[in-house]
Structure 1
Amino acid sequence: MRSHCFFFFFIASFCFASFASGATLAQDEVEALRDIGKTLGKDWDFNVDPCSGESNWSTDGKNNVTCSCDGANGTVCHVTRIDLTRNYLNGTIPKEWGSTKLVTISLLGNRLTGEIPTEITNISTLLDLNLEANQFSGILPLELGNLTQIQRLLINSNKFTGELPISLARLSKLQDFRIGDNQFSGKIPDFIHQNLTNLGILSIVGSGLSGPIPSEISHLQNLTDLRITDLRGSETSTFPPVDKMKLEILILRNCNIVGHLPEYLGTMTIKDNLDLSFNKLTGPIPDTYETIARKTTYIYLTGNLLNGSLPSWIERAKSIIDISYNNLNITSQESATCNKEKRNLFANSITNGSGQDACLEGYTCSQLSYNLRINCGGKEVLVNKSTYDDDVADGGDVRFLWNRNRNWAVSTTGNYMNNNNETGTHLVSNKSVLSIENVDLYMTARASPISLTYYGFCLQNGNYTIILHFAEIVFTDDQTFSSLGRRLFDIYIQGELVQEGFNIAEEAGGNRKAITKKFTAVVSSKTLEIRLNWAGKGTTALPQRSVYGPLISAITVNSDNPPPMPNSISVGVVVGIVVAVVVVIILVFGIFWWKCCLRKKSSLEIELRGLELRTGVFTLRQIKVATNNFAEENKIGEGGFGPVYKGCLSDGTLIAVKLLSSKSRQGNREFLNEIGMISALQHPHLVKLYGCCVEGDHLLLVYEYMENNSLARALFGPEEQQIRLDWTTRYKICIGIARGLAYLHEESRLKVVHRDIKTTNVLLDKDLNPKISDFGLAKLDEEDNTHISTRIAGTYGYMAPEYAMHGYLTDKADVYSFGIVVLEIINGRNNIIHRQNEESFSILDWAHMLKEKGDLMELVDRRLGSNFKKEEVLVTIKVALLCTQVTTTLRPTMSSVVSILEGKSVVDEVVTEASEVLDEKRMEAMRKYYSELSIEVPWTASSTSASDLYPTHLDSSFLEKRNYL
């Protein structure tokens, strides 16, 4: 091979003398082309004029060198365009390009690596640079800003890192800017909307950048195509003002956008794709959207928090519409739309108040199963004596599809962008020979551009092992376009992310090779959910603009506790003996058992069967082993209905076990309420319920173990158990509690009022992240938003006045309690009412008096010293005072509180509702009490041992009535 290359270059060099003498291409550019060819491994034929279009200088539009000639009789030429699209080239970008006068460079779809050389930024004539779908890496050079004439810059589908350089602000003539599928960091830079106002296309799809979307993006009024997806971070965005744009495509997917759908979208010129899926949008779908549904091809509102009625125009709209995974109310008549093509309404509620999914109305299980097997995208096959169901219905871009036996279904979301071929894109077949075990499972696959979800119904509740089968049968390992593709997607089981950025070919060791991924899951409500989701990563244009997103070959699901198999040899004998023994036992003990056990147990079990749980079920034996038979040294507290124990499961997972007293019928009722409530609520700032145990008289709840106990003990527990909480940590705790409450009040499908928010019901994990606990007292917010509660549940000092005095309960009661907790966090003292010389006062009284005196900073815990941000503290105090207003309508919502604390909105000035007489004697008593805490307290570190954090006995007067959960 080496001698062959030497011979080629020898002949080329020999022939070049005759070529050069009559060449019309500038000599320095000929030399540059030679060096470029060597660097890229491009075998250009230098025996002919590069500008002639002969030989291999212009074989097609994807292998093209174009020249522009000037001078006398056009004898002097310059290379102006090099298009090497999909030439399978290796190597790096040649530095020699910097000496050319190129106008267009396209390296789309090669295997080029390395960084962008700064020399390329010397091409002052460059208008179009396309580096899409390669393996370039590193940070973008600052010198890119020198390309001030450039109009099109495509760097998507690479491995670039770092922040976008501010020098890109100089590219004011840029019209097409695409940076998706990279590993950038930082927020969307301001210069995009400040300087790049000529943009017509902006694509930030899966770029690695963080939100929020700046509202100033409205300055880009020439945009016709705006795509922003999968922004990192938890910071929310309001809907960006795009009403002045000329948009034909608007994709704002998974951008953490909050608020209502803007009505003006319905009157815009969007005609191709409107995708606002997987955000936190609320409210109804505006009636104005009927107009856009007549002219837009695709409308995706999937995975939001939309509510209200299903718009009547949905059924007759021409658009392909996906509104699955929202809180819309759908009538029985409208639920028939679930089975129509080009519609996906799954996971919205039927209006009869049952909470049942509208698309499952009337669906019942004739029998329960212990396994599920699907040959995704293919026909029914028999593998290892097991039958895999067929999965051959395409369904198109948007559809919820039942299988023929109606024991599983598949939901597809999304369309292949820029793809004109709409056939065969969801069901994929392999056309070549595969050397794979169980090859029948890998000859076909189901694919989806965005989200692909399989649901297993009618499964027996319990623990399951899930095996997902994959083989990349679209891309190849040969020298074709298909060898350049790269597919990445995320895997979710039961709504939990179990693998991020899964690359089939990479894990299998190549294309057309099998790989299986094994996971475990707990099935509750008889339903299993497996979701594969494209998060904007991987190539989107190779081998054509229709291949990306998740792909799966087969699914195998098996119960970890299958029913026992009968023994065919001795079955008759065994049955006879068993029947005889059972009859005798029934005759002797039946009546006694009925009176003593059955009637007591049946009531609870009937109620349990009516619950749809999303948790695991533990045996009493497992719990006893984990807690060393409820050993006294493992006792970590006393809950409202019984003791709490620390435990360790066989896999090393630490747990907290709440043992409910079996003597209290009220406790049983709270137990059922707590299971049903917590199993439906999952959030980073809520204590996670792992499962429950019901055996005989034993009623137990199993929670995640919180290493740093409660916020109450961290702040004002016994001195030896306190944790040093600096201001940054305290501020983080305030925001975390607010986010948890916002989820309970506004974001969860169940609208929940906690009713007992206090520092003992806020627990801290090993990283001091707050999690709200104790939902035994939680109350569902039903259709009526207000309640008159006949059973007041809460803690004096934290309860809102309207609830404590009149039993009037809304979510604003939690807002009030949150305000008290925030004051405690700031001051470091609890809100117990104190009496001095027959004068009573609380931390709220103290805060109001300090406000009237204009000295709110005196409220701050002296232990913090001066190590805090004054503006941040003042905002937090004002939020607390706003939350504790006597008039409920003056209190903010928790989502508003989150927005204020995160700096996205401004806190309203608090107006004191009732004047206080500033009695100096009373003021001095308060000042003395709230300032007497010594700053020399020997705080413990957050790494305190678990045994210290959970003492067997808590003798602090502050914690006498402490509930761990």
Structure 2
Amino acid sequence: MVCFLHAMHDSASRNTSVGRLSSRRRGEQVLHMYNMKIKLMMRILLLCFLSCFWFQLSFAQNATTDPSEVRALNSIFEQWDTQVVPGQWNISGEPCSGYAINSTDIYSADINPGIICNCSYDNNATCHITQLRVDALNKRGVFPEEFVALRYLTFLRVDALNKRGVFPEEFVALRYLTFLSIRANYFTGPLPAFIGNMSALTELSIGFNSFPGPIPKELGNLKELTVLNIRSNNFSGTLPPELGNLVKLERLYIDSCGLSGEIPSTFAKLTNMQMFWASDNPFSGKIPDFIGNWTQLTDLDLSFNNLTGQLPSSLFNLTSLTSLSYINFTKKSKTGLTVGIAVLVGVVSLLLIFAILYMRRKKSEKEDDEDILGLGPRPYTFSYSELRAATEDFNPSNKLGEGGYGPVYKGTLSDGRVVAVKQLSVSSHQGKRQFVSEIATISAVQHRNLVKLYGCCIEGSHHILVYEYLENKSLDQALFELSPKISDFGLAKLYDDEKTHISTRVAGTIGYLAPEYALFGHLTEKADVFGFGVVVLEILGGRPNSYNNLDPKKISLLEWVWTLHENDQTLGLVDPRLTEFDETEATRLIRAALLCTQGSPMARPSMSRVVAMLSGDIDIGTVMSKPSYLTDYDFKDVTTSLTSRFLVEDDTPSTSSKGSNVRLNYQSGGSNASGASVNVTQSLLADIKGEGK
């Protein structure tokens, strides 16, 4: 009986163990099946997403642009003599192609002019142009009436086109337009009342024009506006009270536009205001108390006005306010502000006290240190402490090098961006306003081959520029690899116009410096002409200006070219990898380059004349003899006499080469041992002629 009971217990134990094991296996199987189902569902969802994407894309690619819009776009660009960068989108065939349907970045500096299309109309069969951007053409003319045909536009930016006339009435027909920017043109007629009919606008920018007369009250009808920029115009009169109806307004730029009178009380309704720039106007009356109720305000500039009274105390409680400028009021105003601030010091928090002390310390510096607060347009400004932290207190281990303008350090900003921090050591007697104005101009220049300038730092004696960071590489290497990024663009403008002699070290690269700059530090616009001539010769020859691996007679590019020229063998310079080229065009380029590299600045042409020479609009004439900087330092022939024969130029138009084309075809094979890209001469030569035209 006992044995039987033991046997029963052992059997039950085994069954229990088997049951537990089976339950665990079933659980694992269920979990495995669940995971498999999840993976299958994810794959199905991904497949559906890709199918929808390719479905929509195929429809977009098969859709065609509205023919009336195609005609209008072609007519506009033909009148503006504007071409599209090849490969971006098709200006003459199907505009809604390439970047126009695949890219959403209308602000990209690489796409100018650029369009964006919407191909969802008529069941994805029709494309309409919805965005158009054209910047900085610098060609005189007017806005064509064909704009009225682009009726589906929602975004239109045509800045710095050098266009004249009055505000185009055709814009009113663009009833879907929400963004309009026509900054930096030359509009001279009064701002029309019909602008109030463009009711869909959310952003309007007409700054840096010459609009005269009063601001029409109808501007207050644009109740969807969040941004209004009318700065730097020639308006007269006062701010219309109707602008207080723009209750969605977040940014208002009315600085330097000639307005006077008081700030309207109706502005109290603009409670969404974030940026309010009203400097450099003869505004009068009391500083409005309602400004303190703009709880979202981040940037306030009331400087260089005739306002009186105290800033509202509630203004200093705004945690969002990061920039405040109210300098250069009347004496009465300054006294009131001092008393007001003194009272606030006694009642506000410790943090506010430190903020006021900081502001008072800044106000005690020289006047041009304050000017940056009231300046517009303004570049982004970094604090000195921010750049010290980014470069680890300008640690020598972070030093990238030192050029003619000062040392450069590698730094990492708080947002993770790696930047190049350049401490300017050049001496400039410009005031702070002029300096920042130049930096703002440089920052606004956008080009794929210019190193981007993020901003600057101007605190006391510290003048610092912050650039995008690029790995070390010289300009000539970058040019021959067809990916140049040029830094220090525009920094020569930081010198006074009268200060053409540089007392510090010469800034530049040997081989491209004009003799008067390299030897005496004499800086003129003709120094750039010299460098341009050297680059043209490098492009044609497919080699750098100095190359020690060549025959001794060819090491110096300029010396070799002049030897060829004097022996009537000028075309011997042309890159031997060119199997076909137009000899007339090549000769024209070489002769123009020789003229650009003359020793005397007076003997070099201006860049405008160089462009005319390369375009064939004027004859180059007879090129003078070898420059003295070559003969004086030719130690192999010290008896070479110097010549003083100058070029006789003929301003009459040349028609002999007007219709000629440069044909550049390389052999399919061949080595690239020289270090230059095989197609360097072809692409850069085409760029010189194309951009010159």
Per the normalisation by structure 1, the TM-score is 0.34
Q: Going by fraction, where is strand more abundant, 1 or 2?
A: 1
Per the normalisation by structure 2, the TM-score is 0.45
Q: Going by fraction, where is helix more abundant, 1 or 2?
A: 2
Structure of greater relative contact order (alpha carbons < 8 Å, 6+ residues apart): 1
